[in-house]
């Protein structure tokens, strides 16, 4: 068995690389399509979808590693000569397809990996870390990489069909040694003869540029955040919200995923005096579809989770109490159709007419029926950590009661 290529034969290492990668690619494509099309309405479906994606990603990176080794090996080897260099168009097409297949072997896994690393959440890659050096967490970058992945899926499928059809045509119609030369054995064939080598490379570059151009021109917008949700109606309040944040952190497959609600309103009445007792009331209304939560934003809206279509808002209604331990908002939080008693201790500073509050809270998502079928905390943690902050200014008296 000879490892190296000659100008008339593929060596055993080239053949090993070719067929192991072929097997990997022909597994990854259906796996990616099935996992993408799989419903994720219930927690059980979501867990199945995540497992398929984890297999897809981990196998994709393994194939990438083999592809890099294959490319380095191919660069050091002679490429066996075409069997029919006189058929110029056919040779050009076959070699353009080879370049496109090599390009896909780099672009597909890299775009998938960047898509994964630039966002948070959903199916983890097994055995190795989730982040990539030099790839920032950026939803636009993640969406662009996802678009490249999906454009190259089409390029790869079309070139593979041409590639396999070409190999079969040589075997069945031409009855030549093209396919046998790639199969195990010692088949030698082809006569080294001068033929255009740069033109197929140029052809492949042109196809890649065209595919990216068409893909980006006709594709979906590159960001999918909760910002497009309908805005909540403005409310009147003694204290008017100027700025604030409702951030949440969950653990998914053992890794933290953070996000926030971009739209919420506050109705606050509050008069501070030093002695313990009730000092006012607060009502916070949160737009559920305004949540952005890494790559799991869409899943979080589903019927088994927030069920945003049926329950588009969450409401926290509370009295503000001064106790010996400090300020507490004591009331109830309604998410979906579950109302749960809640005490939120918070810090407050008032300077002039401006009040600033901060508070932290840990909730159990199961109290609200969120992901009730996803009981395993290894898949989705039960605890949801909330980080709250608000800056509000005292409304001018004449505005009140208008």
**Given candidates 9, 49, 57, 365, which one binds ligand HEM under the rule CB under 6 A?**
57
55 is an interface residue for ligand HEM by CB under 6 A: no
Q: Which residue has the tokens 């905390």?
A: 377
Least separation, in Å, of the C-beta of 279 and ligand HEM?
A: 49
Which one, 38 or 342, has the nearer CB to ligand HEM? 38
Q: Which stretch binds ligand HEM (CB under 6 A): 24-32, 330-338, 360-368, 382-390?
A: 24-32
Q: Per the structure block, which two tokens stand in for 389?
A: 């902050």
Give the span between the Cα atoms of 289 and 226, in whole angstroms.
Answer: 6
Give the span between the Cα atoms of 246 and 103, in whole angstroms.
Answer: 44
Torsion 169-174-175-181 (CA) sign: negative
**Maximal C-alpha separation, the chain:** 98
29 is an interface residue for ligand HEM by CB under 6 A: yes
116 is an interface residue for ligand HEM by CB under 6 A: yes
Least separation, in Å, of the C-beta of 131 and ligand HEM?
A: 11
212 is an interface residue for ligand HEM by CB under 6 A: no
Give the span between the Cα atoms of 150 and 23, in whole angstroms.
Answer: 20
21 is an interface residue for ligand HEM by CB under 6 A: yes
**Given candidates 8, 18, 195, 394, which one binds ligand HEM under the rule CB under 6 A?**
18
Tell me the three state secondary structure of residue 390.
strand
Give the span between the Cα atoms of 69 and 73, in whole angstroms.
Answer: 6
Is residue 343 within 8 A of residue 282, CB to CB? The reply is no
Q: Per the structure block, which two tokens stand in for 5?
A: 């290529």
13 is an interface residue for ligand HEM by CB under 6 A: no
Q: Per the structure block, which two tokens stand in for 270?
A: 């509050």
Least separation, in Å, of the C-beta of 318 and ligand HEM?
A: 40
Which stretches of 169-313 are DSSP H helices?
Answer: 178-182, 198-218, 297-301
120 is an interface residue for ligand HEM by CB under 6 A: no
Which one, 62 or 395, has the nearer CB to ligand HEM? 62
Least separation, in Å, of the C-beta of 174 and ligand HEM?
A: 12
Closest CA to 330 of 390, 279, 388, 368: 279
- Residues that bind ligand HEM (rule: CB under 6 A) add up to a total of 46
Q: Which residues ranging from 354 to 383 are in contact with ligand HEM (CB under 6 A)?
A: none
Give the span between the Cα atoms of 262 and 249, in whole angstroms.
Answer: 15
Q: Which stretch binds ligand HEM (CB under 6 A): 176-184, 253-261, 280-288, 370-378?
A: 176-184
100 is an interface residue for ligand HEM by CB under 6 A: no
Element at 247 (helix H, strand E) = strand 239-252
Q: Which residues ranging from 71 to 90 are in contact with ligand HEM (CB under 6 A)?
A: 74, 79-80
Q: Which residues bind ligand HEM (CB under 6 A)?
A: 14, 18, 21-22, 25-26, 28-29, 32-33, 36, 53, 56-57, 60-61, 63, 74, 79-80, 94, 98, 101-102, 104-105, 108-109, 112-113, 115-116, 125, 146, 149-150, 153, 156, 160, 163-164, 167, 178-179, 181-182
């Amino acid at each position: 068995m000879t490892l190296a290529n000659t100008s008339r034969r593929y060596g055993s290492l080239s053949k090993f690389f070719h067929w192991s990668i072929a097997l990997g690619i022909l597994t990854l494509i259906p796996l990616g399509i099935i996992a993408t099309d799989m419903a994720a309405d219930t927690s059980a479906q979501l867990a199945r979808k995540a497992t398929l994606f984890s297999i897809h990603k981990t196998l994709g990176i393994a194939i990438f590693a083999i592809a890099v080794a294959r490319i380095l090996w191919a660069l050091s080897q002679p490429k066996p000569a075409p069997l029919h260099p006189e058929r110029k168009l056919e040779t050009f097409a076959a070699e353009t397809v080879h370049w496109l297949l090599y390009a896909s072997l780099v672009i597909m896994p890299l775009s998938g990996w960047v898509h994964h690393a630039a966002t948070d959440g959903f199916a983890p890659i097994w055995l190795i870390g989730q982040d990539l050096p030099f790839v920032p967490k950026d939803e636009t970058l993640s969406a662009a990489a996802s678009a490249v992945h999906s454009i190259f899926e089409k390029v790869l499928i079309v070139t593979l069909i041409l590639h396999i059809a070409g190999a079969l045509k040589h075997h069945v119609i031409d009855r030549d040694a093209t396919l046998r030369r790639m199969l195990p054995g010692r088949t030698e064939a082809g006569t080294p003869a001068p033929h255009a080598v740069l033109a197929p490379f140029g052809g492949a570059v042109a196809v890649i540029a065209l595919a990216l151009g068409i893909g980006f021109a006709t594709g979906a917008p590159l960001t999918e955040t909760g910002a497009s949700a309908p805005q909540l109606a403005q409310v009147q309040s003694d204290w008017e919200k100027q700025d604030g944040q409702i951030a949440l952190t969950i653990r998914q497959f053992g890794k933290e995923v953070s996000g926030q609600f971009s739209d919420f309103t506050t109705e606050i009445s509050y008069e501070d005096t030093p002695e313990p007792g009730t000092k006012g009331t607060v009502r916070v209304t949160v737009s559920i579809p305004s949540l952005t939560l890494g790559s799991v934003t869409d899943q979080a809206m589903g019927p088994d989770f927030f069920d945003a279509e049926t329950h588009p808002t969450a409401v926290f209604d509370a009295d503000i109490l001064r106790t010996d331990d400090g300020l507490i908002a004591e009331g109830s939080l309604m998410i979906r159709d579950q109302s749960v008693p809640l005490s939120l201790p918070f810090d407050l500073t008032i300077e002039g007419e401006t009040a600033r509050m901060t508070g932290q809270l840990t909730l159990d998502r199961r109290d609200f029926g969120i992901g009730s079928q996803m009981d395993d905390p290894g898949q989705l943690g039960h605890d949801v950590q909330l980080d709250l902050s608000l800056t509000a200014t005292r409304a001018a008296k004449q505005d009140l009661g208008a």
